[in-house]
Amino acid sequence: MNLKKILNNIEYEVVRGNDNLDIGEIQYDSREIKKGDVFVCIRGYVTDGHKYIGSACENGASAVVLSEDVKPVPGCTVIRVKDTRKTLALMASNYYGNPSEKLKVIGVTGTNGKTTSTFMVKSILEAAGFKVGLIGTISNFIGDKKIPSHRTTPESLELQKLLARMVEESVDYCVMEASSHSLYLDRTYGIKFCQAIFTNLTRDHLDFHKTFENYYRAKLILFQNALNSIVNIDDRYGERICKDAPGTKVTYAIDKKADVQGGSLNVHSRGIAFTITYGGDKESINLNIPGKYNAMNALGSAAACLCEGVDLHNVKKGLEQMESVPGRCEVVTKPYNLGYEVIVDFAHTPDGLKNILKTVREFTNGKLICVFGCGGDRDNTKRPVMGKIGTELSDFAFITSDNPRTEDPMSIIREILTGVEKHNYTVIENRREAIKAAMKMAKRGDVVVVAGKGHETYQILKDKTIHFDEREVVADIVKELSS
């Protein structure tokens, strides 16, 4: 494609060479460059693409897009822009034929509930007869076709490529998780969202954003690029979104009066029953995932689809036909008759841990046993908070390791323990052994919650990643304990 066409609607200056040349592909990693490609210099948090211009040109780049003063590279066209991240997003969109203009895109953001909400929206829209793509933490989907996911929201180049594949396969809607990182780093820049859902906002990612205000401002970016904002006003930051976001706002709530109203909640071990009222119509919903917070996720998902013209009958059908979401309040002991349950959940924030433990408490007849830890190289201010929540809301807790990354696992655990006031816990650093100990402790009527990893199938230890799927771990422990 012609470079000038790729740079359409972007302000730029030709520093050297000629912008009227054919380009192979767009790259932001110099190691991926092939002859005739254009290299976009992205400044990251670990390194800076401007340092690799020489390497990119040696590998065959015919053009470089940059934002800093660097030494000219002989034989290579040099294009200067103000912001290379925004430019990469727009270049990628142009290169792939502006795919987001050819389908409807629904974005979901918030600290918790993004993944569950995207699955719910997908299920509702499919019940209404649409073909749906999904981009998120667990996997990406084009209809029923599953595609591996490497991060919650892909870099803009990969994101636009995936949207283009969806257009090629006649997808009507793409529903995607929009993480605060991706919004701040302009991965979704240039995409117009028909609906943007706000789930909630609680402490997380302060290692990246530094302040809670910065975290909120990153989330707000999604709603500044949306036709409609679907907002949870039971969350105090939802009320702020309603004030700060432009365009039309549609509210949802259980405890407050809202456009899409939830009520008559009845939580049980296999799900939750509730009602949805919208525009004078009312439907009873039996959701296969327990928890008031999942009823909230369902309301937000329903609200977005209702705004797209889906009727309440199909909302009900879509929500009720969804069996579960991997790693989200997932009962992994259904195949076994143990007398107790083991639930795996992705809860890795204070609010997420509080939600899952309060939900499970509602249907636990015996003891509530929790296995949890905190990830390394992430916001360490939440560690004592989670220590307090994990021990206060469970009858007994096993504090363990959870993706320590480059940190010493016991150092992380010691920080967790600074928030613990009760003595109803034990420390077992090895996560598998902690899960086994919890299952050995469990008696009939008890529930074991294994929190923090959910759908993940790995553990990150120092410089290596090992296979660790908690569904498999539980299955193996069941065999060990029964032999």
Q: According to the annotation, is 179 in a ligand binding site? A: yes
Residue 405 has pLDDT above 90, yes or no: yes
Query: Span 457-478, mean pLDDT?
Result: 91
Q: Yes or no: say if 147 and 235 are a contact pair by the CB < 8 Å rule.
A: no
Q: According to the annotation, is 378 in a ligand binding site? A: yes
Position 321 scores a pLDDT of 96
Position 270 scores a pLDDT of 74
Position 152 scores a pLDDT of 78
Q: What CATH code would you report for 3-83?
A: 3.40.1390.10
Q: According to the annotation, is 153 in a ligand binding site? A: yes
Position 4 scores a pLDDT of 96
Position 215 scores a pLDDT of 86
Q: Tokens 């939750």 sit at which residue?
A: 272
Residue 206 has pLDDT above 60, yes or no: no
Residue 269 has pLDDT above 80, yes or no: no
Q: According to the annotation, is 199 in a ligand binding site? A: no
Q: Which residues contact 22 (CB under 8 A, 6 or more apart)?
A: 1, 2, 3, 36
Of residues 268 and 230, more confidently modeled = 230
Q: According to the annotation, is 440 in a ligand binding site? A: no
* Distance of alpha carbon 331 from alpha carbon 289, whole angstroms: 9
Question: Helix, strand or coil for residue 413?
Answer: helix
Vertex 336 angle, CA 334 and 342, to 5°: 60
Q: According to the annotation, is 456 in a ligand binding site? A: yes
Q: According to the annotation, is 62 in a ligand binding site? A: no
Binned at pLDDT 50, 70 and 90, residue 205 comes out as low
What percentage of the chain's residues is helix, strand, coil (to nearest 5)? Answer: 35, 25, 40
Question: What six digits make up the tokens of 379?
Answer: 């916001």
Position 148 scores a pLDDT of 84
Can you say whether residue 322 is alpha, beta or left, with left for phi > 0 and alpha for psi between -120 and 50 degrees? beta
Identify the architecture of domain 99-320 in CATH: 3-Layer(aba) Sandwich (3.40)
Report the 3 state secondary structure along 54-96. HHHHHCCCCEEEECCCCCCCCCCEEEECCCHHHHHHHHHHHHC
Cα 113 to chain centroid distance, Å, stands at 8
Q: According to the annotation, is 444 in a ligand binding site? A: no
Share the mean pLDDT of the chain: 93
Fill in the DSSP letter of residue 215: H
Position 207 scores a pLDDT of 59
Query: Span 104-125, mean pLDDT?
Result: 95
Question: What six digits make up the tokens of 170?
Answer: 């006649």
Indicate the range of 82-91, 209-218, 275-284 predicted with least confidence.
209-218
Name residue 146's amino acid: K
For domain 330-482, give the fold.
Answer: Protein-Tyrosine Phosphatase; Chain A (3.90.190)
Q: According to the annotation, is 187 in a ligand binding site? A: yes
From start to end of 321-373, where are the E strands?
330-331, 341-345, 368-372
Position 423 scores a pLDDT of 95
Q: According to the annotation, is 394 in a ligand binding site? A: no
Binned at pLDDT 50, 70 and 90, residue 272 comes out as very high
Residue 277: count other Cβ atoms within 10 Å of its Cβ: 16
Q: 340-384 pLDDT, tens per residue?
A: 999 999 988 898 899 899 989 988 999 999 999 999 998 899 999
Comparing CA positions, the residue from 372, 352, 367, 344 lying closest to residue 470 is 344
Query: Span 388-414, mean pLDDT?
Result: 96
Binned at pLDDT 50, 70 and 90, residue 208 comes out as low
Query: Span 9-34, mean pLDDT?
Result: 95
Binned at pLDDT 50, 70 and 90, residue 173 comes out as very high
Q: According to the annotation, is 387 in a ligand binding site? A: no
Q: According to the annotation, is 366 in a ligand binding site? A: no
Query: Span 443-456, mean pLDDT?
Result: 94
Angle between helix 292-307 and helix 312-320 axes, rounded to 10 deg: 140
* Distance of alpha carbon 118 from alpha carbon 301, whole angstroms: 8
Comparing CA positions, the residue from 476, 449, 380 lying closest to residue 419 is 380
Q: According to the annotation, is 404 in a ligand binding site? A: yes
In the chain, where the domains are located: 3-83, 99-320, 330-482
Q: According to the annotation, is 270 in a ligand binding site? A: no
Q: According to the annotation, is 152 in a ligand binding site? A: yes
Q: According to the annotation, is 465 in a ligand binding site? A: no
Q: According to the annotation, is 111 in a ligand binding site? A: yes
Binned at pLDDT 50, 70 and 90, residue 149 comes out as confident
Q: According to the annotation, is 405 in a ligand binding site? A: yes
